[in-house]
Structures are given as C-alpha cells and as structure tokens.
Amino acid sequence: MTVIGRGEFVSSTLQSLSWAQLALAAVSSYVAYQFVSEAYGYWRKSRSPLRHLPGPRTGGNFLFGHLRVMFGGEGNEVQRGWAKDYGETFSIRGMLGKYQLITTDTRANTHILFASHVFQKPAGQRRGIVRFLGEGVLFTEGEQHRDQRRILNPAFGFSHVRDMTDIFLDKSLQLREILTNKCIDAGGTARINALDWLSKATLDAIGKAGFDYEFGTLNENGVTNELAEAFEGVLRKDTTPWQQVRFLLNNQFPLIRAIAPGARARASDYSKKKMDEIGMRIVQEKKAAILAEMGSGRIEKKAVGGKDLISLLLQANLAADLEPSQRLSDEEVLAQIPTFLVAGHETTSNSTTWAMYSLARYPEMQKKLRDELQQVGTDRPTLDMLNALPYLDQVSRETLRLHTVVTQVTREAVEDDVIPLGAPIRDRNGNLISNIKVRKGDQVQVPIYLVNRSKAIWGPDADEFRPERWDNVPAEASTIPGITPNLMSFIGGPRSCIGHRFAVAEMKALLFHIVRGFEFRLAVDPSELWSRTGVIMRPQLRKDNSIQLPLYITPVA
C-alpha cells in the first residue's frame, strides 16, 4: 500500500483544482472571514452599555434592527412615538443588533456635536457617500476636515453671501417669468409641481454661485446639459425600499458591492466618473486663469479671480501665507463641487418647497407675507433688505424648524466616552442616571426633527406652523446647540453647516419673488401628501409615492 504524505496530498489536491475553483475558494474564504469578523464586532457592540437604556425591544429584526421601520416610511413619526413612550433619551437596535442612542436632551447633544474628535460620521456611512460624492468638506474627518474648513470658511462669510444674492435674485426672477408664462398659457391659473421648478432654480443658482457654471435647467422645454445629467445620475431620487437596503448592505459590507454591484450602482459609477471629468476641467481652468493673471504660483488672498465659491477656494488655497502642508490637492478641490451641489441644491429647494406648502395651507399667512414683500420698492433687494423684513424672516425660521429637511445626523464614537445629561433618566433597571457611558463603536443619533418639534422646548403647539412664535422665543430654545440661534436644523459645533447663511439667503430670495408674484393653493387635499423619512425629507403623493408638491398658482394682479 502506497502512503501519501500530507504535503503530497495537498499538492495533488491543488493540482486537481482549476484556477476558477481556486479563485472561488479564495473569495469564499475571504467573504467568510469578513462576515465572521463583522459578526463578532457587532456581537461585541451588542453588549454595549446602551442596552440598559429604555427603548423598543420589539418591532425590528436581526439584520436591520429598528432601522427598517425608521426608513421604511414615516420614520419621523415612529421616533416621536418612541420618545413619547420612553422619554427624551432611549436606545434602539441598528444593523446586526448594534445599539444606537437617540436623545433630545440638549446638553447631551451639545456634548456630542462639539466633541467631534470623539463622535464622527460612521465609517460605513462615509464609505458609501464618498464613493458617490468624493471627500468634500461634508464627508471628511479629522485634520483633513479642519484643513478644508479653514480654507472654505471665508467663502461662506456674510460679505461673500451678500455678493451672491444677485445670483439668487436672477434665478428667482427667471423662475417667476417662466411660471407667469405657464399661467398665461393655461388661461390664468396653472398647475405646477413646485418642487420640480424650485429644484431647477436652486441647481442653476448653485452652479453659478458655486463655480460660475451655467446648468441651464431653468427653462420651459426641459433642456439640460451633461453635468446636470451626471449629477442627477449620481443622486437619483427614485429610490425604492430595496435600493435603500442595497445601499445599507453595500456600505456595511463593501465586498457585496465589489462582487455584485447591481445596475443602479454601475450607472451611478458612470455618472460619477463623468461628473469628475467635467468638474476637474472646471477646477484646472480656474486655477490656470488665477495663476496666469498673477504670473506666480502663489497669490495674496482675495487678490484676483472670480467670486464664485470654487474661485474663492482656489484663491485661498494658493495664498502666499498658507503653509504647503495645509493646501488642498486638486482632487480635494474637485470634491467640493458635488458637495456644493448636494448642500446648496437639494436642501434649499426642499426647504423652500415646504415653506410654500405651509403658506398654501394658511392663506392668511401667505397674504400677510405678500403684503410685506410688496412694500419693497425694487425687484432686486439687497441681502440686508431681505434680512430686514421681519415676517419673511419668521416664515423662513419657522419652516426650517417645523420642516427640517435633514431630520437626523448619526455619529459613531471612536473612543470610549461619557455623555452628560441635562435631565436625569431612569434606566431599564430603575436606576437614576445623569450621564451615559458609550464604548468605542457605539452610535448616537442627533434627532434634529425631534428637537425642533419638542413640546418641552417649544410648548404644546410645537407641531403647528406659527411664524409669530419667533417674536417671543421660549427660553428653553436657547439651549439648542445650533449654529443658527434656537434652531437645530444646521446643527452646531465644528461640523455645523458651513453654508447656513447661503441657504437662508437663497431661500429668502426665492420666496421674495414667488410670494410677491403669485397667489397659490394646494392642488390636492393635505391628507394626500406625506414625506418618507430619508436623507432628505421631500413631499410625496400617497397615491403613487411620486416626489412633488402640486400647486395651483395665479399671478397677482
């Protein structure tokens, strides 16, 4: 009998396998290793101290936890139900049993938002977003984020936003003219999708203000260009629940995307490549123009160039007094373009849409605002003039409070920490606690929507649209850690929204011409509209889930 040694057996076995079989075995082993590693990590996190907090323990599943009900429909209302049942501080289950903290306690949220070195964007979330939008200021962390923010901050200062107000007014006037023509064609009153038209106006505005680029989407014949198409391809709005599930799985388990990306992911990758090609061309042309004008590789800040955001960024980035180690690469500058598009387009168009929704529901408020706007003796008010209109300011603030379009932000602890509470709570064992221990890897959600609608802060009418409340803001609102006083919508701390002045100025400019120029009312019953909880809160029709705000508009005589 022939005895085969262990080495000979292994060698013989390997020789009998094809390269395809070996590759499959290697990939399978890697997948199994990754899954076991992830599962162990999540098992460890399932032993988090957060498990002792009150909160729902049913209604979720092992894979997605309670995220399934939070993002499967009217998740904001689900969260409000939890807050009512368990108090202002509680925990839920995330993916694979991982615990997440949710709290409306303003002292706790102040700690979370200002300790940005401890609480950062979750790695899986960043991975998915960066793949589509690049490492712009919204999505970077640590020193990279600080360098980008340092260079970008001056471009978003009040003086530069004031200079950009003319661009906002140009697009607002252009939109008014288009809508007027639609009313004439319809015999006096036209039915429109307000969100669609406002999205076109804000895309054109951020193109011009952000990098001096004409998207040209604000027209009556639907003509667009390749950069607009590429951007829409990356950020498609027609997301199904299954596609949301795929997105979560791809972020958490990148190998799934590598092996089976799916048609949607491949299309987005193609659009991202096209967007980067066009964006890099814009960046390099502007950089070359600035350097050619100066005849040097370094310039003095604010010395040359245009006033769009990318030009201002390049001027600051090439300034003589900036350390070479702090300069951004062309790729980092490029990454700001999709960042500007997302932050300056989607959020502002939806915020303005929700303002129109509220004004359409309350005609007396619409008339009060129109009367104020018609007292302005010019079609081109300055930003100072817009900010001096008290009711316009109140309507804008109340819209941002009641209809915050970004409903929550998620952070993950990169080290162990203790979060202080303003109001002690009782844990599941009945113990009174005044702080919450979190371990590295634990996640916390800052529930912007819940804070902005908290009855403990805003009183019993917190769910009502009442602009006059800003005449006498409750003292409790002063504890909200927001970059804009008394509002959580732009959050606070080192990662607060850098473009908050930009967004409010653009919103006011749009409302100025629309409310001044038209009377409008809802084209459907309010009960037929709802908003699916997601990255951006948008109005949808219940009957077909189409994203729109249908209005009847009539020019003011």
Q: pLDDT by residue (tens digit) across 316-353? A: 888 878 888 888 988 999 999 888 888 888 899 999 99
What DSSP designation does 445 have?
E
Q: How confident is the model at residue 189 (pLDDT cuts 50, 70, 90)?
A: very high
Q: For the chain, what percent of residues have pLDDT higher than 70?
A: 83
Residue 389 inside a domain? The answer is no
Residue 287 inside a domain? The answer is no
Residue 434 inside a domain? The answer is yes
Q: How confident is the model at residue 4 (pLDDT cuts 50, 70, 90)?
A: very low
**What per-residue string of b and e applies to 251-290 under the rule 16 or more CB within 10 Å gives b?**
bbbeebbeeeeeebbeebbebbebbbebbeebbeebbeeb
> Does residue 319 contact residue 328 with C-beta atoms inside 8 Å?
no
> Does residue 209 contact residue 345 with C-beta atoms inside 8 Å?
no
Q: For the chain, what percent of residues have pLDDT higher than 90?
A: 60
Residue 518: the pLDDT is 99
Residue 485: how many other CB atoms lie within 10 Å: 11
Q: How confident is the model at residue 97 (pLDDT cuts 50, 70, 90)?
A: confident
| Spatial distance between the Cα atoms of 54 and 515, rounded to a whole number of angstroms | 46
Residue 86 inside a domain? The answer is yes
| Spatial distance between the Cα atoms of 303 and 312, rounded to a whole number of angstroms | 10
Q: Which residues are annotated as a binding site?
A: 497
Residue with tokens 């904001």: 76
Confidence (pTM): 0.87
Tokens of 156: 């978003």
Q: Output the domain CATH number for residue 482.
A: 3.30.43.20
pLDDT digits (tens, 9 = 90+) for 407-466: 999 999 999 999 999 999 999 999 999 999 999 999 999 999 999 999 999 999 999 999
| Spatial distance between the Cα atoms of 301 and 284, rounded to a whole number of angstroms | 19
Tally of domains in the chain: 1
Residue 185 inside a domain? The answer is no
**Helical spans, DSSP H, in 318-382:** 330-341, 347-361, 363-373
**What is the span of the domain harbouring residue 429?**
46-122+407-488
Q: Which residues are annotated as a binding site for heme?
A: 497
Question: How many residues are there in the chain?
Answer: 557
Residue 89 inside a domain? The answer is yes
Q: How confident is the model at residue 523 (pLDDT cuts 50, 70, 90)?
A: very high
Residue 547 has pLDDT above 50, yes or no: yes
Residue 422 inside a domain? The answer is yes
Residue 503 inside a domain? The answer is no
